[in-house]
Amino acid sequence: MSASDHDHDHDPAHGDHGHAPPGHAPHGHTHDAAPTAIEARVKSIEALLVAKGYVDPAALDVFIDTYEHRVGPQNGARVVARAWTDPAFLERLRLDASKAIAELGYEGRQGEHMVAVENTAAVHNLVVCTLCSCYPWPLLGLPPVWYKSPPYRSRAVIEPRAVLREFGVHLDDTVEIRVWDSTAEIRYLVIPRRPSGTEDLTEEALAALVTRDSMIGAGLARDPAAASA
């Protein structure tokens, strides 16, 4: 799929909230360090929009709070855990991911037209948005800073194996890496491989092993022994 074939949605000005770089607090908090050039620009744009009456600061705070505290990777983790434990649900996820995900109550803006891609012993999937940062908000919350960075957006396509190694994911050379370009029309959820030794775990315990990065493909599900340590 060519990224140039699609128009991309762009994140709102506060797309990085909840994932601010070290030393920079999220919206509504006092910064201990001087804002970066991008943060200063965002604040200037926000101030201008508020001054012109285009943005209600209170509504903006509600929006940010929703995606920081009520919507996040825990939602996607529950979808993955259900897919690991319920073959019928996994099959529905394969056929129509958006519809299957909605069964668990996760749907909404930036979560339309979902496609689930499964990692196997032979294939590892990695998601990128080469033109901006299209991302399944209802499942994963707001995108991390690195997902939106130009180096990731370009290198994930050109040298995905090297990028994965930098995330600590070391795959055998025989494993095929498939890179999926998220767009305004379609967004992807990676179903990571279920860790071994988890046959007796509950669905809730399994969900605790699923990380945000593993659902992008930039990580793996947690080892149950390490997670309980």
Catalytic residues: 129, 132-134
Q: How many CA atoms lie within 13 A of 101 on its CB side?
A: 28
Name which of 94, 138, 100, 132 is nearest 116 in CA terms: 94
In this structure, how many other beta carbons lie within 10 angstroms of the beta carbon of residue 78?
20
Contact (Cβ atoms closer than 8 angstroms) between residue 189 and residue 114: yes
- Give the integer Cα–Cα distance in Å for 35 and 48: 18
- Give the integer Cα–Cα distance in Å for 167 and 144: 13
